[in-house]
Structures are given as structure tokens and as C-alpha cells.
């Protein structure tokens, strides 16, 4: 399954996490670009990227807990039958970037490796990435980010239009940052891997 991807281009992760806990991001930002984009469906404004950045919910209805909007990686790895739109056995690289190889440490789990890493196998599935327990060093490309991205992708399909991200946005955000790059929110603000992962995780209960 292939989804169109728009690769995009960081901030303070701890501050970001504190603001997201309250429903907003602690980053100064000019919101002109985001304001020009329509709010998705019925997604609560305070949980969208623009709402989280601005922290302004006064004209957009009542604030809701963002963590109530989606399901965690733990849920998805234990409810394979709920993967109705996405094939859990599809290679991760058919949806996201070709970011990982994998190695099996036991019958129940795999570890992710950077692509081309010695002794590892290519093309882990989406389910293998979601259930991975750790990552092989050196230069691992954020395995926790990948788990959050797979869960966010599934949430975006299951809960549309009430989820703040579309599947394409989830893919674009992961692909932009998994190598340490940044995802451009607008011309003056970008998120790195930590910020993207914090935002993904803010939309479901861990």
C-alpha cells in the first residue's frame, strides 16, 4: 500500500511535552500558514497542530482531552482484527520510508536496525515495527517514533474525520524526521523527531 508523502523540514522537547499535557505547545509561532488550512472534520481544535501551537480554544468550542482521541501502540498490537484499512503484514516501507531492517531476538519480538545494518534482515512489516522491543545501535532511527507513527496511522484511518491528523500527514511527519531532520509546520517553526513523537503520543493514552 502506497500513500503520497510530502517530505518536510525543532524546539524544546520538555517544554513541548508540558504544553501538550495541557493541550498546547510551548513554542512561539506565527500561525498564518496553519490558519490558512481547514480544520479537519470534527477534530477538536485544541488537539490539531494549529490549536496545540496557539493554545487558543476560546473561539473553537470546548477543550477536550487529546489523549482520548486515539488508541495506543499496545492496543493495536493486540487487536490485529481491527486493522481493517491497513494490512499488518505489509512492509513498513510500502507506507513509510524504507527506514528499518530487523533482527529476531526471540520468537515473540524483533529489534529494529538502521537500514543496511549488518546481520539484520530487510523489510520489517508494520506489525513487526509496532511490536519491536528495542533497537540495534549505532545510529538507530528512532524506533519509538516508528511505533508511535504506526499507531497514529491506524488511528487516523479508524477515527477520521474526528482525528487531528490524516494518514498522509502521519506519513509525511515521520518521513521528514526519522533521520534526525525536521518537519516544517510553517516558515518559522519546525519540529524534530522528539516533537513529532510527543505530538503523536499526545493523541492517545499510552
- Residue spans of the domains in the chain: they are 69-202
Mean per-residue pLDDT over the chain, rounded: 80
Residue 52, pLDDT > 50, answer: yes
Mean pLDDT, residues 122-134: 91
Beta bridge partners of 110: 104
What does residue 111 show for φ and ψ, rounded to 5 degrees?
A: -115, 145
Q: Give the pLDDT score at 133.
A: 80
Q: Cell numbers at residue 32, please? A: 498564518
Residue 163, pLDDT > 70, answer: yes
Q: Give the pLDDT score at 34.
A: 34
Q: Give the pLDDT score at 40.
A: 42
Which of 14-28, 119-133, 152-166 has the least mean pLDDT? 14-28
Q: How far apart are CA 85 and CA 106, in angstroms?
A: 29
DSSP 90-135: SBGGGTS-S-EEEEEEETTEEEEEETT-TT-EE--BHHHHHH--EE
47 secondary structure, DSSP code: G
Amino acid at each position: 500500500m502506497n500513500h503520497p508523502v510530502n517530505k518536510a523540514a525543532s524546539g524544546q522537547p520538555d517544554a513541548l511535552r508540558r504544553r501538550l499535557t495541557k493541550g498546547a505547545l510551548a513554542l512561539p509561532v506565527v500561525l498564518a500558514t496553519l490558519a490558512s488550512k481547514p480544520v479537519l472534520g470534527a477534530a477538536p481544535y485544541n488537539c490539531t497542530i494549529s490549536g496545540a501551537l496557539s493554545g487558543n480554544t476560546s473561539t473553537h468550542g470546548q477543550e477536550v482531552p487529546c489523549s482520548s482521541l486515539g488508541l495506543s501502540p499496545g492496543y493495536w498490537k493486540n487487536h490485529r482484527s481491527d486493522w481493517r484499512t491497513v494490512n499488518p503484514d505489509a512492509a513498513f516501507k510500502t507506507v513509510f520510508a524504507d527506514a528499518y531492517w530487523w533482527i529476531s531476538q526471540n520468537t515473540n519480538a524483533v529489534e529494529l536496525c538502521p537500514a543496511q545494518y549488518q546481520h539484520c534482515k530487510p523489510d520489517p512489516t508494520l506489525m513487526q515495527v509496532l511490536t519491536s522491543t528495542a533497537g540495534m545501535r549505532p545510529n538507530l532511527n528512532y524506533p519509538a517514533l516508528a511505533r508511535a507513527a504506526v499507531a497514529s496511522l491506524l488511528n487516523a484511518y479508524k477515527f477520521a474525520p474526528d482525528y487531528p491528523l490524516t494518514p498522509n500527514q502521519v506519513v509525511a511527519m515521520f518521513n521528514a524526521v526519522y533521520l534526525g531532520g525536521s518537519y516544517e509546520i510553517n516558515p518559522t517553526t519546525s519540529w524534530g523527531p522528539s516533537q513529532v513523537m510527543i505530538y503523536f503520543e499526545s493523541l492517545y493514552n499510552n
